[in-house]
Amino acid sequence: MALTTYTAGEVLTAASLNDNLAFAITVPASTPGGLTLITSQVIGTTVSSVTVSSAFSATYDNYKITVSGGVGSTAQAILMKLGATSAGYYWGLQGADFAGSASTNGASNTSSWRVGAANTATFSTTLDLMSPNLAKQTAFAGTYLLPTASTAGVMGNTGGFLNDSTQYTAFTLTPTTGTLTGGTILVYGYSNS
């Protein structure tokens, strides 16, 4: 349906206006560059890891993963694996605490990526994952924030790649120590156009 145009002094009918209103608010199913929710998974109670299955497919090349609302049983780093792969992960981390002290960390050819952190107050992170379901190296970039009190805490930027060309559909988040409770993991696909 085409959008109707009007001229000065023309009588506007309800039917014509309703048609234009319906046309004006029609939103395409996929917006170029937009995000589409793929899956939502609630983290259980005192779990030692959480796996999100059917997260990646050939429909999207790149993904956004967010985690929020949960807590850790203690201060802990959060690690991520794709599928069952336990080697070939390369990553680096730059962080700073809210007092201004900077830190860096990284590892080559390890069993997982370091993608975030949790403590007894919070567990939140956001990641962009590039090419997990394509037959090429998968890369990621992410940010996390870990407040420890009203004026204390740390933030970090992390990124890396997996040195293989496996096509993955699932990922697992695991704390380095202790357990996770609550919170939601959301996986979005970035539009390919």
Mean pLDDT of the residues in the chain: 88
Query: Higher-confidence residue: 182 or 150?
Result: 182
- % helix, strand, coil for the chain, step of 5: 5, 50, 45
Tens of pLDDT along 151-177? Answer: 678 899 999 999 999 999 999 999 999
Q: Which residues contact 164 (CB under 8 A, 6 or more apart)?
A: 85, 88, 137
**Half-sphere exposure of residue 164: CA atoms within 13 angstroms, side-chain side:** 18
Q: What percent of the chain has pLDDT over 90?
A: 70
In angstroms, rounded to a whole number, what is the distance separating the alpha carbons of residues 59 and 70?
29
Which CATH code fits 33-190? 2.60.120
Whole-prediction pTM: 0.81
Query: Higher-confidence residue: 121 or 1?
Result: 121
pLDDT at 134: 98
In angstroms, rounded to a whole number, what is the distance separating the alpha carbons of residues 162 and 24?
44
The residue ranges of every structural domain in the chain are 33-190
Instruction: Name the burial class of residue 15, with classes exposed (0-12), middle (13-18) and buried (19+) by CB atoms within 10 angstroms of its CB.
Output: exposed
State yes or no: pLDDT of 129 exceeds 50. yes
CB 101 within 8 A of CB 86: no
Query: Higher-confidence residue: 7 or 42?
Result: 42
Beta strands in the chain (DSSP E): 35-42, 50-52, 62-72, 76-82, 89-97, 102-110, 113-118, 123-130, 138-147, 153-162, 171-175, 180-181, 184-190
Overall residue count recorded for the chain in this entry: 193
Q: Which residues pair with 113 in a beta bridge?
A: 80
In angstroms, rounded to a whole number, what is the distance separating the alpha carbons of residues 169 and 56?
4
State yes or no: pLDDT of 30 exceeds 60. no
Please compute the mean of the pLDDT values over residues 111-125 and round it to a whole number.
93
Res. 183 pLDDT band, cuts 50 70 90? very high
Tens of pLDDT along 57-85? Answer: 999 999 999 999 999 999 899 999 999 99
Tens of pLDDT along 133-157? Answer: 999 999 999 999 888 766 678 899 9
pLDDT at 153: 84
